[in-house]
Amino acid sequence: MEKERYFLQLFNELEEYLRITYHKGDYSYTGFITRLYQIKKNRENMIINNNHNFEIIKQAAQMRNIISHNNDVLVPSERFIDEFKNIVEKITKPLIVRRIMTKYNDLQTVDLKATVGDVVDLLKTSGYSTIPVIEKDDLIGIFTEKSLFDYLSLKDSKSIDKAMKIKDIIEAIDLNNHPRKYYDFISADTSIYDAYQLFNKDIKQRREMLLLLVTQNGKSGEHLLGIIALRDLENHLIN
């Protein structure tokens, strides 16, 4: 009975979490599978969106029904319980942004006096796709691989000198001047799934969020604790 009891405990934990998070606490067990399909269809949870995880949860629902009505017919294997436990924990106890962000002190940054050549070299050597431009602890903008192309599109000049200062191309890195590219603020205690959704919310409008800036409460004007890039989230969601 130990395995069955532990399995039921895991399932009840998952069911309770989904009920509270996605249906305001108002659906019965008989509607569990229906609601599970709705969550997947609406892409509301990255773990449930995964086809393998989805099938495991469906199997668990069927097993829960059998065990609840006749507990001497089915005993979940340790392998299944371990896999189901891993899925349940990822859903009900997701990592928060604070745990995976690149901390402020570890950031690769430049200031306005840096040259274009230096920043391009930093992109190559660091492996990052974005370099925050910070002046006196204030975020001025974000330099990316596309910043030079943006500068050329904004200016009549058709050339860029590596000796140019970042301040000379400020129009291309100041995201407030770019309607298609932007960054947003996020609380350090936000789940990685909610953070991931922020990167995808403007796809239809063809906007591109470059970074999430992490502060304690997710508000501008607060001390910058770190940054989150889409790649950071994907690495944790896939693994």
β-bridge mates for residue 191, sequence order: 96
Q: Is the pLDDT of residue 133 over 70?
A: yes
Q: Is the pLDDT of residue 217 over 50?
A: yes
Q: Are residues 87 and 20 located together in one domain of the fold? A: yes
Q: Are residues 84 and 104 located together in one domain of the fold? A: no
233 near 199, Cβ under 8 Å?
A: yes
Of 91, 110, 126, which residue is a domain's last? 91
Number of domains in the chain: 2
Q: Are residues 63 and 123 located together in one domain of the fold? A: no
225 near 104, Cβ under 8 Å?
A: yes
The DSSP H or E segment spanning 150 is helix 147-154
70-74, 188-192, 221-225 — most confident range: 188-192
56 near 89, Cβ under 8 Å?
A: no
Q: Is the pLDDT of residue 119 over 60?
A: yes
More confident of the two residues 26 and 234? 234
What is the per-residue pLDDT for 181? 62
Q: Is the pLDDT of residue 29 over 50?
A: no
Of 37, 56, 91, which residue is a domain's last? 91
Q: Are residues 135 and 223 located together in one domain of the fold? A: yes
Tokens of 26: 């108002």
Confidence of residue 222 (pLDDT cuts 50, 70, 90): confident
**Average pLDDT value over all residues in the chain:** 85
Tokens of 236: 């944790």
Contacts for 62 with CB less than 8 Å, ≥ 6 apart: none
What is the per-residue pLDDT for 24? 60
Q: Are residues 67 and 104 located together in one domain of the fold? A: no
Q: Are residues 58 and 105 located together in one domain of the fold? A: no
Q: Are residues 63 and 120 located together in one domain of the fold? A: no
The DSSP H or E segment spanning 210 is strand 208-215
Q: Which residue range forms the structural domain that includes residue 80?
A: 2-91
User: CB-hemisphere CA count at 13 Å for 155?
Assistant: 15
Q: Are residues 116 and 193 located together in one domain of the fold? A: yes
Q: Are residues 113 and 223 located together in one domain of the fold? A: yes
Nearest to 40 by CA among 91, 95, 94: 91
Q: Are residues 52 and 115 located together in one domain of the fold? A: no
Q: Are residues 155 and 74 located together in one domain of the fold? A: no
CATH number of the domain enclosing 217:
3.10.580.10
Confidence of residue 186 (pLDDT cuts 50, 70, 90): very high
Of 26, 56, 91, which residue is a domain's last? 91
Which pTM was predicted? 0.67
180 near 208, Cβ under 8 Å?
A: yes
Q: Are residues 107 and 225 located together in one domain of the fold? A: yes
60-69, 124-133, 196-205 — most confident range: 60-69
Q: What's the gap between Cα 133 and its chain centre?
A: 22
Instruction: Please state at what angle helix 51-69 crosses helix 32-41, rounded to 10 degrees.
Output: 170
Nearest to 78 by CA among 167, 10, 146, 18: 10
